[in-house]
Structure 1
Amino acid sequence: MTAAADGGVTVFMVGMRINRPLAVRSWWPVFTAMPRMLRELSGDRESGMLGFRLLNGGPRVLYVVQYWSSHEKLTAYASAQDREHRPAWTAFNRRARRAAGAVGLWHETYVVPAGAHESVYVSMPPFGLGAATGVIPVGRTGERAAARLRLGPSPQG
């Protein structure tokens, strides 16, 4: 099986690292903000978030991989005054000034054009992009990764 995403996709990864475990008042609001945002986004099909996966990045590190229909929808959500993200970001910045370094945040955004992503799932339930967009048989998009990527010939040398 392969992901049924035939257009472009935006992959957004965001996470936190608890730098000072005893500074619970600094990291707990960050820890609880993301589930609120994910609930809000999951309940709004027009938001542009296609799906997400929560991951453990090791001791004191948690992160989320999100799949979005476009970078524009992601940035619209991030800047919307009436959604969960802006108040959470404002509150984090206020707390960060009082307890500098108690909790770390990071994010990465990848805008992937149509034809520039490839996936395969063997003996797996839908996962990652496939869970976000649904899956279709591999043969419908090409038997080999190169055919599914549709990037064209690469330069020699």
Structure 2
Amino acid sequence: MGSAVIPGRQTAAADGEVTVFLIGMRINRLRAVRSWWPVFTAMPRMLKELARDGSIGMLGFRFLLGGPRVLYVVQYWESHEKLFAYAADAGKEHRPAWAAFNRRMREGKGHVGFWHETYVVPAGGHESVYVNMPAFGLGAATGVEPVGRRGDSAAQRLRRG
């Protein structure tokens, strides 16, 4: 995700279905570092693996803060099938991290919380606009193009399909 401002009105150059995956953690007890630190450090390893190999299917991601003790990642995927395949692949970073996380959750007495949400957005079911912004969100994941190519209004961009 570059920081160069792209002048004018742009929209994400995403065609077809997009899967949006939100995943995060909440530190319920700050002093219980042994409970939440391994959860916190597992995500960068997975994201590095995903960024290295585009064939896995993740298009892009962004880290966000959801409050003083909540951290999460928005991920954009080519399809939910590729997301689920990655999650189930014993040869990738996710499976062992998930097993270790589940062990820690049982032992951790609620010191760390975890959540995820998956949204499968059909073709024509998403729209975006970025005005004088660097590449951001779905546009950073798929590239951007001038708004006029996909429709000048949000309603026009949503009817595309």
| TM-score between both structures, scaled by the size of structure 1 | 0.95
Counterparts of 1:14 and 1:99, CA distance in 2: 19
Counterparts of 2:108 and 2:141, CA distance in 1: 36
C-alpha contact (below 8 Å) 2:150/2:160 kept by paired residues: no
> Which residue of the other structure, out of 127, 147, 151, is the alignment partner of 1:138?
147
> Which residue of the other structure, out of 94, 100, 111, is the alignment partner of 2:103?
94
Tell me the CA shift for residue 96 of structure 1: 1.3
Tell me the CA shift for residue 146 of structure 1: 0.8
Counterparts of 1:103 and 1:151, CA distance in 2: 42
SS in 2 for 1:10: strand
Counterparts of 1:137 and 1:99, CA distance in 2: 49
| 1:1-157 matched pairs, under 5 angstroms | 1-150=10-159
Aligned identity (percent) is: 76
Counterparts of 2:20 and 2:101, CA distance in 1: 23
Amino acid at match of 1:89: W
Tell me the CA shift for residue 126 of structure 1: 1.2
SS in 1 for 2:130: coil
Runs of 4+ in 1 over 2 A off after TM superposition: none
Greater share of strand:
2
- Gaps (5+ residues) in structure 1? 153-157
- Gaps (5+ residues) in structure 2? 1-9
Counterparts of 1:9 and 1:118, CA distance in 2: 11
Tell me the CA shift for residue 6 of structure 1: 1.2
The count of corresponding residues between Structure 1 and Structure 2 is: 152
Query: Over aligned residues, Cα RMSD in angstroms?
Result: 1.1
